[in-house]
Amino acid sequence: MATQTQTTTAAPAQSLFQTAPYIPPDAIFALTADYLADPSPKKVNLGQGTYRDSNGQPWVLPSVRKSRQILQDQQLNHEYLPILGHAGFRKAAAKLVLGNSLYQPLEKKIASCQSLSGTGALHLAGLLLRYCRGTSETPTVYIPTPTWSNHFQVYSSLGFKCQPFKYYDSDRKGLDFESYISALKSAEPNSIVILHACAHNPTGCDPSQEQWREIGATMKERQLFPLFDAAYLGFNSGNVDNDAFAIRYFVQELKMEIGLCLSFAKNMGLYGERVGCCFVVTETESAAKNTQSVLEMLQRSEISNPPAYGAKIVTTILEDEELTQLWFQDLITMSSRIRSMREALYNHLNTHKAAGTWEHLIQQSGMFGFLGLSPEVVRTLKEQYHIYMADNSRISIAGLNPSNVEYVAQSIAECLK
C-alpha cells in the first residue's frame, strides 16, 4: 500500500527589522541632495554650512596645503593612533582654546580625548557625564532654541532629558537675554547647559562679553555645568582669542569646571577629516587623571581609536609658528569674505526694497544668517527661484558670492511683495 507524502507550507519569513520605523532624512543633507539634483543654472545653495570661496568653490586653506606637503615629505604612514588620539594634537588644541598663559598652570587638570569632529566630541562628553553620575538620576541637558538640530539628537539618544529654553526673540530678531537668564535661574542644580562658544548656529546672535559674565555668574550660583560647543573658534571674528572669550572667562575668572567640544571642520576647512577634541577642565589633578582614564575606556568601546590624518594636519599647523601665523591669515580671509557678503546682501535687500527691516542681518555674525522668513516664502524661493535654505530661513552666508548675492536679494524682495 502506497504512503501519501504530506507537504507543509512554511509561514512567510518575518524580518527581524519589521518594527523599524521610517525616519525622514536629515533636513540639511536632504536639502543639499535636492540642490545637487536641480538642473537650473541659477540655483544657489544656502543650506549646508561649509565655506565657499568667491567663485562658489570649496577652498583648501593655504596653511593646510603647506601642512599636507610637510606630511607628505615625511613619508606619512598609516599606523593606528593611541586610543585617546594624537598626543601632540590634544595638547595643541587645548593650548589654542585656553591660550598659553592659562594653559600652563592648568595642564595637569585637563582631561582630553581626540574625537570624530564636533559631533563626536559632543557625544563623548555626553557619555562621560552620564558615566560619572553612576547610578544617580541622569541630569537634564538645557539646550537653547533654536540650536543646531543635532544637539537634541545626540543627548536624547544617550538618555538625557533635553530641556529647551528660549534663546532667540523672533519679534526683536535678536538674543532673548531675559528668557536666557530666567531659564538658568530656574534650572535644577547639577544640570548641564549647552553653550555656543561663538557664532551661534543658526541665529548668528551671540551674547556680549558683559552678558557672558552674567550668564557665567548665574551658572556658578546655580551649580550648572557649562558644556561649550566650539565649532567656529577663529572663524567667527577672524581671531581665536576674541572667539574664546567665554570659555576662558568661565575657567580663569569664575574658576569653574567646564566641558569643551572642539571642531576643526570650519576653521581649517577639514570637513571630511572629522577632526575634533573633547576635553574637560577639572578641579584637581587626580580628577583629571581619572577622568582621562574614563574617556579612554569610552573611546575604546565606541571607535577604538580616532583617524590620524586630519589630526596630523592640525598638529603640524599649530606646532609651527610660521604655519600658525599663515592659518591666522586664512581665518581673516574667510571671516572677512563672509562679513562682506553679509553686508552685500543687506545692501541689495534695501536696494530692491525688500519688505521689512534688515538691520538684524548685519548685527549677526559668523557663518549663518537668520533671515526671519516664513516657511511659505522659503518654499517659494526653492521651487520658483532655485534658492535653497533651511525651513527656518537660516542661510549659510558662505554660500553667497559676488555673482549670486544680488539675485538672492532680488528674489527675496519679489517673494515678499
Nearest to residue 206, comparing CAs of 232, 241, 171, 239? 232
Strand ranges inside 264-354, DSSP E: 275-281
269 Cβ contact partners less than 8 Å away, ≥ 6 residues apart: 51, 58, 59, 60, 61, 64
Instruction: Single out the catalytic residue among 59, 148, 327, 358.
Output: 148
Residue 148 is among the residues annotated as catalytic for this protein: yes
- What are the residues whose beta carbons fall under 8 Å from the beta carbon of 267, sequence distance 6 or more? 232, 233, 234, 235, 331
- 266 catalytic residue (yes or no): yes
**What whole-number distance in Å separates Cα of residue 322 and Cα of residue 274?**
24
SS3 call for 236 = coil
CA distances from 40 to 37, 45, 155 (A): 9, 12, 39
Place of cell 598609516: 78
Q: How far apart are CA 255 and CA 259, in angstroms?
A: 13
Residue among 122, 94, 97 at smallest CA distance from 107? 94
Q: Which of 66, 173, 266, 312 is catalytic?
A: 266
Nearest in space to 97 (alpha carbons), one of 225, 264, 226, 209? 264
Collapsing DSSP to helix, strand or coil, 342 comes out as: helix
CA–CA separation, 130 vs 126, rounded Å?
A: 6
Check if 38 is active-site. no
DSSP 148-185: -THHHHHHHHTTPEEEEEE-EETTTTEE-HHHHHHHHH
Angle between helices 309-318 and 62-73 (to 10 degrees): 110
d(CA 311, CA 322): 18
**Which candidate in 59, 109, 212, 229 is catalytic?**
229
Residue 193 and residue 142 in contact, taking contact as beta carbons nearer than 8 Å? yes
Q: Could you tell me if 395 and 46 are in contact, meaning their C-beta atoms sit under 8 angstroms apart?
A: yes
Residues carrying an active site annotation: 148, 229, 266
